[in-house]
Structure 1
Amino acid sequence: MAGSGSDDVGHIDDELLRQVYDSVDTSLLLYDHDADAILGCNDTACDLLGYSHDQLQECSLAELDSAVAPATEATLCEQVQQTATAGDQTFEWAMSTSDGEPVPVTLSTATLSVADGTVILLEVSDLREQTFRGQGGRIDILDRMTDAFFALDGNRRFTYLNEQAHEIIREAIGADLSFTDLQGRRIWDEIPEIVGTRFYEKYEQAFETGETATFEAYYEPLDTWFEVNVYPSETGLSVFFQDVTEKRRAIDELEDTVEVLHDLYVLGSDSGYSFEYRLDRILELGCRRLDLPYGFLTQITDETQLIEASRGDHELLQPGEQCPLEESYCRRTIESDGLLAVFDALADGWGDDPAYDTFQLGCYLGGKIIVNDELYGTLCFASDSPRSRDFTESERTFVELASRWVGYEIERQQYRTELERQNQRLGEFANLVSHDLRNPLNAANTQLELVEQEHSDEHVEAVGRALDRMEAIITDLLTLAREGDTSIDLTTVSLPELVDRCWERVAGPDSTLTVQTDREIYADDHRLQRLFENLLRNAHEHASRDVTVTVGDLPDGFYIDDDGPGIPPAERDQVFEVGYSTAEDGTGFGLHIVETIVEAHDWEITITDGTEGGARFEVTGVELADPWQG
């Protein structure tokens, strides 16, 4: 406690103070401003703030300060402590109950001398118990609250409204009534639309039970969500409420977005159905989510809009229908950086637009379809009627993601069609090579064998070498055609066994193979054999002397290293191209076949300098049959 240094303070002993507590009906608190502690309180103060005597005397004023206090830089503690220096004062505030609810009060302070020094006596008056004062005498503390507040007596008549509540009530009534006009009027008579709503039920329940109520409810006439706190008393109800529409819409928006993403994921990832079926489901889902009757996919070519797929009964938005691009909404969609959103076409200036004249769409939301980095068309949703409000973020997110998905699927469709066409051409080519070229070659080899029985000179040997080269080219062409099929059959393959088998087929008499691996990997056995045969043959064919080839391990793959002439860095990107070869008798297909096999396995291949100066081919991204081998 502070020392009693002021002559203006009242003097009171402890016993008299206790008598004052017990003899008055108002709420009293005895406050030590030095320790920021409640030293004493009466029953009325405990009832008002919802604490027992012991609990209240353990509180500080900071704990009793409400978050809806007036717009002042001072706290409740600082405001009260001014009494010690500036003298007694009376002011209005909002204190906090034990439940954290705000209570509008008038605080009157007085400095008292007690045995141990000076303390401050606080008289706390509940403003909710006061009657309506009219516009000129409104209670400042309630008007400064961010919450709207009104009070009703037992007959459901208005006794008080702060400015925030007055504005909302006037809007709900639909008349410009003053505070004085509303005084004494029954809420149910002035706003009959409330009767039967959740607001009516909760207010009447509080009147009947005397229990507080906290709830959120939507009031349709104002298109507004309110958060409401209702406090009954012996004389009526005190109602605090605030507009939480934006908060509710933000929550709903987030929930809608999550649901949209889930629905799109389910549809987009279900590859068991055709693209056409899933597209129709996307259009149906969009119409339902946006609450719009029309959904359609367009293709735009040569300044013409063609409807490829649609939902809804608009006669001009059916599959096969087309119109000049200048008469469509889509012309503006493809000019936009993002989506084109029109929630009220006439209000947005579309009344004289050719698109409105043609389609008569009152609202529209559309996005571009991009395929292989080029404009394909649009994905759109629309209605004959305008919307009452703009499209939400979750609605825009749906159309944006759906547009991307459609573009991706069309791109896949085109790629699949082109791949099938290529495979068909490769198959036809393989048949051509196998029959139309190989049969004459076999006949030529037979004739050469007959000639060699009677003649053996350099000319005959040259013909034999030429036929051998033709055989090698045909073999590589057939291999290349077959490797065009990207499907693979993975099995466990022993690298050392496979490498030895391949070496026997391609090695020269003086060549040397060193195998420094005992790994097993997952690969297509037939294709991996082709890969090693081509790489080992490549090392043998390009060596100007007897070559040593080493096959060894990498952390996620293997390498083939030789001590031949190597490959200059400038040529390393070219060696995988079809027809590229530096060997006189090379076909130019071998390393391209290697690259095709690597890509089919989803591996990677790079070329570096060999350990002994030759070339080193490193294949990575390989799945080991036993990961602990790495």
Structure 2
Amino acid sequence: MPSNEPPAPRTKDVSIGDIRIPDLFRDLPDAVIIADETQRITWYNTAFQTLFGYSQQELIGQSAEQLYAAPQSYEKQRSAGFSVAVEDLDHNYEMRYKRKDGTSFLTRTTGGPIRDKEGRVMGLFAIIRDISQTRAIEDLLHRLFDISTDQALDQSGKILAILKLGCAHFKTDSALVSWVQGERYTILYSYSDLVDIPRGTVFPLGDTYCSEMLNSGGPLACHTAKQSQFGTHPCYDLFLLETYIGVPLIVDGEIFGTLNFTSPEERHPFEAGDLEVIKMFAAWVGQQLNFEKATNQLPTETTTLT
């Protein structure tokens, strides 16, 4: 009796001349996936495994549908943009996929049929690049620009709006702008869902994570303090802050203080790009502080804040 089982995936045997198709894509830095004409996955490279979170053979023979963040996106690509029957179609598009853990991300995808010299379809391919971080930074820049040019906000309102935006981006509860004089750490601006710290509140610099950050000379981040060098820091004993990301604030070309975002809860690990993003936030806050300095609103060494 004939079997009801679909034929085994065969893309792994497809070659161009003496070169097997997977060998062309194996070492590319972008994720590459190959499927047969029915959208069953036959091969993917190491970069795909890293991006999507699957092991080497876990998806072989399964439908590509499970990779799409929205079922309707799969149907649209199956019936149009990724169809083996479509000729002369632009196969470069943005698509939102989902990882094995269920998280979704935005990509720039190039995909289409793989054909032999006679035009016969041998399979389908897609080259996938994660652009979610790039798009997020673009969106942040637009929002920061909107805040800085909002005529309804004064300088203080703009800084607080930037701090609120930073908390949302870094998934933290609180944000501080500090003025550092020697070992004095003075709060200038505070935004928090948990507790309000009044302007002019002073802490010993050594009791803050920012002391470590300033010693490092650049941005510093920690997503679980108790399992890091911060676990024995005085700040952890005093405030039990698990999450911290901070950076020096530059005003008029000199270090003026710090910008930091914190939370008593752990979060997923920071990425290298987050250290660049907080420098971007610091540049915008520093710009507002420069405006304050130009109008004599910024504290100086002889200023006492109350």
Give 1:627's aligned residue: none
Give 1:382's aligned residue: 262
Give 1:244's aligned residue: 129
Offset at 1:349?
2.9
Tell me how far apart the structure 2 counterparts of residues 379 and 302 of structure 1 sit (CA, whole Å): 17
What value does the CA root-mean-square deviation take over the aligned residues? 4.4
Q: What is the TM-score when the length of structure 1 is the normalising length?
A: 0.35
Offset at 1:392?
5.6
Residues 168-226 of structure 1: per-residue CA shift (max 9 Å, x gap): 47985845538xx94xx4426xx745471623541255688932562331222166535
Offset at 1:251?
5.4
Aligned: 1:401 with 2:284 = yes
Equivalent residue of 2:194, what SS?
coil
Give 2:5's aligned residue: none
Q: What is the TM-score when the length of structure 2 is the normalising length?
A: 0.65
Question: Which residue of 142, 149, 171 maps to 1:266?
Answer: 149
Equivalent residue of 2:211, what SS?
helix
Equivalent residue of 2:229, what SS?
coil
Residues 440-495 of structure 1: per-residue CA shift (max 9 Å, x gap): xxxxxxxxxxxxxxxxxxxxxxxxxxxxxxxxxxxxxxxxxxxxxxxxxxxxxxxx
Tell me how far apart the structure 2 counterparts of residues 316 and 219 of structure 1 sit (CA, whole Å): 39
Q: Which runs of 5 or more residues in structure 2 are unaligned?
A: 1-7, 301-306
Offset at 1:142?
0.6
Tell me how far apart the structure 1 counterparts of residues 146 and 207 of structure 2 sit (CA, whole Å): 33
Change (3 A) 1:394 1:177: closer
Residues 557-611 of structure 1: per-residue CA shift (max 9 Å, x gap): xxxxxxxxxxxxxxxxxxxxxxxxxxxxxxxxxxxxxxxxxxxxxxxxxxxxxxx
Equivalent residue of 1:309, what SS?
strand
Give 1:451's aligned residue: none
Question: Which residue of 111, 119, 123 maps to 1:229?
Answer: 111
Offset at 1:398?
2.1
Preserved contact between residue 11 and residue 123 of structure 2 (Cα < 8 Å): no
Give 2:86's aligned residue: 211
Q: Which runs of 5 or more residues in structure 1 are unaligned?
A: 1-130, 418-630
Q: Which has the higher contact order (CA 8 A, sep 6+)?
A: 2
Tell me how far apart the structure 2 counterparts of residues 398 and 411 of structure 1 sit (CA, whole Å): 20
Tell me how far apart the structure 2 counterparts of residues 389 and 196 of structure 1 sit (CA, whole Å): 30
Matches within 5 A, 1:206-605: 210-211=85-86, 214=91, 215-221=93-99, 225=107, 227-231=109-113, 238-245=123-130, 249-250=133-134, 252-253=136-137, 255-256=138-139, 258-259=141-142, 262-263=145-146, 265-266=148-149, 270=151, 274-301=154-181, 303-315=183-195, 317-319=197-199, 321-338=201-218, 340-346=219-225, 348-369=228-249, 376-384=256-264, 385-390=266-271, 391=274, 393-410=276-293, 412-413=295-296
Preserved contact between residue 159 and residue 285 of structure 2 (Cα < 8 Å): no
Change (3 A) 1:298 1:134: closer
Aligned residues: 271
Equivalent residue of 1:308, what SS?
strand
Structure of larger gyration radius: 1
Deviates more, 1:305-314 or 1:255-264: 255-264
Tell me how far apart the structure 2 counterparts of residues 169 and 281 of structure 1 sit (CA, whole Å): 39
Equivalent residue of 2:288, what SS?
helix
Give 1:558's aligned residue: none
Offset at 1:278?
3.9
Whose helix proportion is higher, 1 or 2?
A: 1
Preserved contact between residue 174 and residue 193 of structure 2 (Cα < 8 Å): yes
Change (3 A) 1:351 1:220: farther
What is the letter of the counterpart of residue 95 of structure 2? Answer: A
Preserved contact between residue 286 and residue 399 of structure 1 (Cα < 8 Å): no
Residues 218-245 of structure 1: per-residue CA shift (max 9 Å, x gap): 2221665351423399997732111311
Offset at 1:275?
4.2
Question: Which residue of 146, 150, 153 maps to 2:34?
Answer: 150
Offset at 1:403?
2.5
Offset at 1:312?
0.9
Tell me how far apart the structure 1 counterparts of residues 221 and 114 of structure 2 sit (CA, whole Å): 48
